[in-house]
Amino acid sequence: MLPLVLLFLGAKADDGRFFDQRVAPIIETHCLGCHNEELKNGNISFLDRESLLRGGAHGPAIVPGKPAGSLLMIALRHGGELQMPPGPKLSSKEITVFRKWIQSGAVWGARLRK
């Protein structure tokens, strides 16, 4: 039983590292200019997981484990009315990073902690 617990804890630590190393840099570069504690465009700050889970006027931005049901993924693909970030869309590699992060449970790391 103990090895399973250690494996689970290790997986969560890896997920946190994935966020810190792959997701947070994209958020810092492309999202925080508008979605921060001062502006909160769409009533969402990308500085904490709870804000993304709660969402804004359009509903939750992320649904952990369900990228297809996450508004963030729809907005990142620029396929509908809501298109984020404004202007050119993220690269397919960056969109894939978000998809993998959400699919794995959208575990938050330490890099963007308030």
3-class SS shares of the chain: helix, strand, coil, % to 5: 50, 0, 45
**What tokens were used for 27?**
């958020």
**Quick one: tokens of 57?**
């006027």
Mean pLDDT, residues 81-94: 94
Check: CB of residue 59 under 8 Å from CB of residue 97.
Answer: no
The single-letter DSSP state of residue 91 is: P
In the chain, what are the domain boundaries? 2-103
Q: What is the DSSP string of 29-58?
A: HHTTTTSSTTT-GGG--TT-HHHHHH-BTT
Cis check: omega of the bond before 25, within 30 degrees of 0: no
Reading the block at residue 1, the tokens are 């039983």
pTM of the shown model:
0.85
Residue 3 pLDDT exceeds 70: no
For position 114, what pLDDT does the model report?
54
DSSP state of 22: I
Each residue of 11-70: pLDDT tens digit?
A: 455 789 999 999 999 999 999 999 998 888 888 999 999 999 999 888 999 999 999 999
pLDDT of residue 1: 52
